[in-house]
């Protein structure tokens, strides 16, 4: 176990541990990943049998793969699943036969504009077999007969997801969700799985006002399975989908469907005071599982947090999204951003000024500089003045932070000082 003081290193180490596993929307790769995450937090594993109704969907058949390769006319392996699990079209049906080069190419996927990279491709809803490889490698294959082999099976089984609930004092709930269906892609989404696991482990040792539900589920079908199973008891006050949090880009936040939910405001506030160069996006019905949580039948207050936005970086869904693409310091920054949002969620309240008729005399309470005319004193007293002025029972501390342009933490500290001086309740 890595010390909590090195959270960036801990996140990276966990991402590196789960990186080699071949995950998909179902199968043993998901279970193996959950086994590793469960060493850090007490995960509950849920198995949803194939064919289970999930609104307009049904739980798919389970896919597992053991090996796959292509041998050239000389018998040499030119594509090898054991070298990279991206080499196989995810959800490929089993095959073992000999084909011409022309027929092999009909089942191959490459990136001509990125000729040295292997793409990540899937075929969840159509039964086919296929391989992914670099365009340069495909172009170098000689004419002749090739032997193709995929040792996989697609059969009735179950869809698997993991869930952990840290219970708070109020019964109100914050949902944090990461997709677990991608194979060896470090940023998308080993980084999100690792970060949320370490975040859950950190919160376990704390008493919190809110409950925090962590969901590790396959994209789309996993979120639908969870929503379907919990439809009668959904009480989500805040939510974040977390992915692509290990690179140096952004940070990026896409608002919930509501646009002005508390989570949207808190995320915007933290990012605007982060000292980074954030990208703030309006909601759109395309992306990760926020589009399921924000579907009109639920309209949950769930946004999407990333560093570089999905689809905008050249490494996205390619073999270049490897462990060299993410770094401990970027994971730590992402972790800290989410923790600051949680701190706002936990600490926000609506204070009331106990001396609202004119400004109370701060100097005799030790809250104002005794030297008049000092511009530094004005700066230091401004959080106190903003809190006193807006503490009319109608404004929360986050309202005050947004109105004043000051960081939430400064106003929280000012409110604490005013309460100690019996000027605020």
For residue 407, give the nearest of 306, 297, 261, 273 by alpha carbon. Answer: 273
Note whether 59 and 221 are within 8 A (CB): yes
For residue 41, give the nearest of 180, 198, 167 by alpha carbon. Answer: 198
What does the alpha-carbon distance between residue 292 and residue 310 come to, in Å, rounded to a whole number? 17
Give me 370's structure tokens. Answer: 């005794």
Is 125 marked within a binding site?
no
Q: Does residue 407 come out as left (phi exceeding 0), alpha (psi in the -120 to 50 range) or beta?
A: beta
Q: What share of the chain is helix, strand, coil (3-state, %, to 5)?
A: 35, 20, 45
CA quadruple 182, 187, 190, 191: dihedral sign: negative
For residue 50, give the nearest of 41, 60, 40, 42 by alpha carbon. Answer: 60
What does the alpha-carbon distance between residue 165 and residue 146 come to, in Å, rounded to a whole number? 51
Query: Reading across the β-sheet that carries 145-155, which strands appear in turn?
Result: 77-80, 62-71, 145-155, 95-100
User: CB burial class (10 A; 0-12, 13-18, 19+) of residue 80?
Assistant: middle
What does the alpha-carbon distance between residue 200 and residue 41 come to, in Å, rounded to a whole number? 7
Number of helical (H) and strand (E) elements in the chain, helices listed first: 12, 16
Exposure class string for 161-179: b at 16+ Cβ within 10 A, else e: bbbbebebeeeebbbbbbb
Is 87 marked within a binding site?
no
Is 179 marked within a binding site?
no
Give me 363's structure tokens. Answer: 């100097």
Exposure class string for 218-227: b at 16+ Cβ within 10 A, else e: bbbbbbbbbb
Q: Which residues are annotated as a binding site for Zn(2+)?
A: 182, 188, 317
Q: Residues comprising the binding site?
A: 182, 188, 317
């Amino acid at each position: 176990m890595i010390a909590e003081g090195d959270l960036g290193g801990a996140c990276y180490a966990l991402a590196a541990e789960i990186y080699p596993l071949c995950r998909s929307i179902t199968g043993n790769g998901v279970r193996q990943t959950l086994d590793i995450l469960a060493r850090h937090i007490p995960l509950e594993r849920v198995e949803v049998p194939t064919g289970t109704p999930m609104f307009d969907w049904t739980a798919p058949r389970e896919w597992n793969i053991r090996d796959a390769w292509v041998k050239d006319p000389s018998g040499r392996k030119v594509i090898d699943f054991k070298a990279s699990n991206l080499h196989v079209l995810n959800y490929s049906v089993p095959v073992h036969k000999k084909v011409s080069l022309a027929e092999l190419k009909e089942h191959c996927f490459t990136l001509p504009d990125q000729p040295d990279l292997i793409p990540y491709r899937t075929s969840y809803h159509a039964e086919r077999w296929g391989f992914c490889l670099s365009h340069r490698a495909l172009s170098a294959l000689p004419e002749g007969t090739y032997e193709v082999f995929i040792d996989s099976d697609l059969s009735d089984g179950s869809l698997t997801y993991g869930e952990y609930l840290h219970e708070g004092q109020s019964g109100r709930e914050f949902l944090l969700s990461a997709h677990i269906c991608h194979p060896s892609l470090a940023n998308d989404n080993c980084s999100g799985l690792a970060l949320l696991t370490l975040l859950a482990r950190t919160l376990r040792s704390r008493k919190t006002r809110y409950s925090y539900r962590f969901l590790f589920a396959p994209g789309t079908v996993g979120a639908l399975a969870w929503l379907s199973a919990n439809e009668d008891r959904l009480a989500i006050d805040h939510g974040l989908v977390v992915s692509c949090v290990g690179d140096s880009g952004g940070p990026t936040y896409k608002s919930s469907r509501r646009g002005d939910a508390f989570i949207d405001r808190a995320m915007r506030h933290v990012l605007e005071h982060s000292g980074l160069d954030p990208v703030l996006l309006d909601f759109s019905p395309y992306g990760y599982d926020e589009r399921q949580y924000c579907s009109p039948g639920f309209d949950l207050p769930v946004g999407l947090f990333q560093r570089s936005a999905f689809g905008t970086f050249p490494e996205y869904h390619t073999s270049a999204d490897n462990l060299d693409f993410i770094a401990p310091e970027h994971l730590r920054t992402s972790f800290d951003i989410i923790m600051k949002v949680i701190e706002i969620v936990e600490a926000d309240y609506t204070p009331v000024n106990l001396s609202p008729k004119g400004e109370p005399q701060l100097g005799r309470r030790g809250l104002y500089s005794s030297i008049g005319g000092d511009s530094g004193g004005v700066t230091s007293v401004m959080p106190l003045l903003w809190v006193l002025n807006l503490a009319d029972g109608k404004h929360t501390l986050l309202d005050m932070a947004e109105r004043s342009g000051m960081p939430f933490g400064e106003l929280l500290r000012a409110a604490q000082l005013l309460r100690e001086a019996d000027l605020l309740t």
